[in-house]
Structure 1
Amino acid sequence: MASAPQPNLPLFYKDLMPLNSRDHADWKVGTLEDAAFMADTHAVPLTTDEFIDAQRDFPIVFTIGESPLPIALFGLNEGVNTFMGEDNKLNEVVYVPAYVRRYPYMLARLHPEAEELSLCFDPSAGVVGKKDEGLALFQDGNQPTEYTQGVLEFCRRFEEAGQRTKSFMDELKKLDILMDGEIAITRADQPDKPFVYRGFQMVNEDKLRELPAATLEELNKNGMLIVIHAHLFSLNLMRTIFERQMAQGKMPALEGAAN
């Protein structure tokens, strides 16, 4: 059972193994008892398909660099997740990004030159293995069960959403409406010492408004405009997350970063 190549594993994944009927015919999948894998994660990747749902609970910003990606902020500082309790479970009902829901599975290329993606899983999660109880992964020797087919379909849809997200980000860069973000939040007891958060990107509202009418109309028709607005509306939750951190005693030094 060879693991897939893993020079740079994505967030959450510590190992990656291709799922196949030869090695895993009698394996089963149990239930993740908690979400310890994301307990110290403050930023989770997001697809544009999820902006409308996610903007109700999290600020949505974009990473810095040449290839920015959308992220949902569970906290404003590295290692701070304000939605996780001490039991490593969500402490309230919020939207859970698809990136989290697909774990410990993902589609990956087994070899750099491979054209097709294969369904893989993280064996370190401990949820997939030789178990007495759980859902079977294969049946009749080598046929994927309904559960496995569902996982594969979910991961396929996630990859498709990822492609739509890339197209969205490419268009934002083409329109040149992204800017470096900076949020300064003050506490009532220290009005002269703001907490400053940088290290992320956001849409420049002034540049958005200045786009030609024909461009704005096209953005409205192709659905991008409502996604952009969801991002902008979500920024109001920066203070909400800040207050959650303060209530949980997770406040950093006065200079922080949201990425």
Structure 2
Amino acid sequence: MASAPANLPLFYNDLIPLNTRDHQTWRARGVDKAPWLSNQHAVPLTVEEFPQAARHYPIVFASGENTVPLALMGLNEGTNVFVSEDGTVAPNLYLPAYARRYPFMLAKLQPESEELSLCFDPTAGLIGEFTDGEALFNGDEASQTTKNALQFCEQFEQAGQRTQAFIDELKKHDLLMEGEVSIQRQEGGQPFVYRGFQMVDQEKLRNMRGDILRGWVQSGLLPLLYAHIFSLDLMSQIFSLQVQQGKGPGVLAEPAPAF
């Protein structure tokens, strides 16, 4: 059986390509819980998700070379205020597409190849030789369930390319800066300080040339920047939820955990 890349992304413990030879009789179970999210405090976002995600999560950018947008589901590593330990998701919550595509994803089977194959995580417990669930194949043909999964993953890859173009534009104009958020506790004392992420430099944004801003308005980029900026106000709400759930930091978050 061909194997997928060894460097696995967030959530994935293993990855194998879906094929009729090995999985012709396998089925996919429906999902009513997301246990793979329960201990994840930051989940990658595509840029087109900003308007919806900004209503629920602070949106920040990962530090380091691999700059990606992140939806913060908690402020401390291993803390998720929206998903319980058993995987129950808060009602009416927008889940990032990165999480919704699991256990599927497109991956290169060979590093030198440009072709992407539909793969899945066999450890998820969602795909297997079950008597229940939706068939992955009808004989030698992909079922509608598999076609839907493939289409979703293809759309996610395309959104990822648009997200990279968005990040490249921010870097081109040096708009990202190291972020810092200070949250004052109701009972007083020293504030909790969170660092280890990037955010848009609002001063540089205000001083951006008019022709560049006009282009961003026309392309739809500028509203996305403000969705990110406005979403940062949710940091204190996430902090309050952590405290209410008994997941708040017990000591001053200094230096803060990296996002």
- Which TM-score applies when normalising by structure 2? 0.96
In 2: Cα distance, 1:91 partner to 1:21 partner: 36
- Secondary structure (helix, strand or coil) at the match of 1:235 reads helix
Q: Which amino acid aligns with 1:142?
A: D
Match of 1:199? Answer: 196
Large movers: runs of 4+ above 4 Å: none
Q: Which runs of 5+ in 1 are unaligned?
A: none
SS in 1 for 2:191: strand
Task: Give the distance between the partners of 1:113 and 1:257, measured in 2 at CA.
Answer: 36
> Following TM superposition, by how much is the alpha carbon of 1:198 offset from its aligned partner in structure 2, in angstroms?
0.1
Which residue identity is paired with 1:241? I
Contact 1:39 1:88 (8 Å CA) reproduced: yes
User: For 1:239, which of 236, 240, 245 is the aligned residue?
Assistant: 236
- Residue in 1 aligned with 2:170? 172
Counterpart of 2:142 in structure 1 is 144
1:38 Cα shift? 1.2
Q: How do residues 72-111 of structure 1 correspond to structure 2 at under 5 angstroms? A: 72-111=71-110
| Corresponding residue for residue 214 of structure 1 | 211
SS at match of 2:56: coil
Q: Report how far residue 21 of structure 1 moved.
A: 1.1
Deviation at 1:115, TM superposition (A): 1.5
Q: State the partner residue of 1:155.
A: 153
Check whether the contact 2:2–2:109 (CA below 8 A) recurs between aligned residues.
no
Whether the 8 Å CA contact 1:43–1:74 is kept in 2: the answer is yes
For 2:8, the aligned partner's letter is L
8 A Cα contact 2:39 2:85, kept in partner: no
Letter aligned with residue 205 of structure 2: L
Q: In structure 1, how many angstroms separate the alpha carbons of the residues matched to 2:96 and 2:137?
A: 27
User: Per the alignment, in what secondary structure is the counterpart of residue 71 of structure 1?
Assistant: strand
Match of 2:116 in 1: 117
User: Partner of 1:187: helix, strand, or coil?
Assistant: coil
Which stretch shows the higher mean deviation, 203-212 or 25-34?
A: 25-34
Greater displacement, 17-26 / 56-65: 17-26
Letter in 2 for 1:123: P
Is residue 34–residue 88 contact of structure 2 (8 Å, CA) maintained in 1? yes
Aligned residues: 256
What is the CA–CA distance in structure 1 between the aligned matches of 2:200 and 2:227, rounded to whole Å? 11
Structure 2: which 5+ residue stretches go unaligned? none
Q: Verify the 8 A CA contact 2:5 2:107 in the aligned structure 1.
A: no
CA contact (8 A) 1:3 1:15 kept: no
Q: Is the 8 A contact 1:109 1:115 kept in 2?
A: yes
SS at match of 1:115: coil
RMSD: 1.1
Q: Which amino acid aligns with 1:81?
A: N
Q: TM-score, normalised by structure 1?
A: 0.96
What is the rounded CA distance, in whole Å, between the counterparts of 1:112 and 1:188 in structure 2?
A: 52
Contact 1:196–1:257 under 8 Å retained in 2: no
1: CA distance between counterparts of 2:91 and 2:143? 32
